[in-house]
Amino acid sequence: MNQMNKILGVVLMVASVFISTLERMSIRLSAALVESGSGTEQGLREVTQTVDVPTGLLVYFMFFVGFVLLVAGFPGTYKNKNKNRHQYERPENYQ
């Protein structure tokens, strides 16, 4: 299960970055198309100002969940895990 959490965490983090990149590319591309005048019949150019719209909450949520899953995929510290495992009882004739 730990390995699955690591893989899923990395996939969610990379997917959130990919979605954010696609969103920003589409905003810039649509502004460039409007400025080039390719959508009008007369070929008039319009000057537009692009405003970087903050990305949606889905991107941040996916990145956070991916980070939590990635951290949960690693086991705890070695000392806490094996603290009681190596305790043994002394023999009766031990001095």
Q: Which amino acid is at 45?
A: R
Is the model more confident about 80 or about 44?
44
Average pLDDT over every residue of 44-60: 74
Q: Which two tokens mark 57? A: 């909450």
Q: What residue ranges do the domains of the chain occupy?
A: 2-81
Mean pLDDT of the chain: 78
Q: How many CA atoms lie within 13 A of 88 on its CB side?
A: 5
Average pLDDT over every residue of 66-86: 72
80-93 pLDDT, tens per residue? 555 555 555 666 66
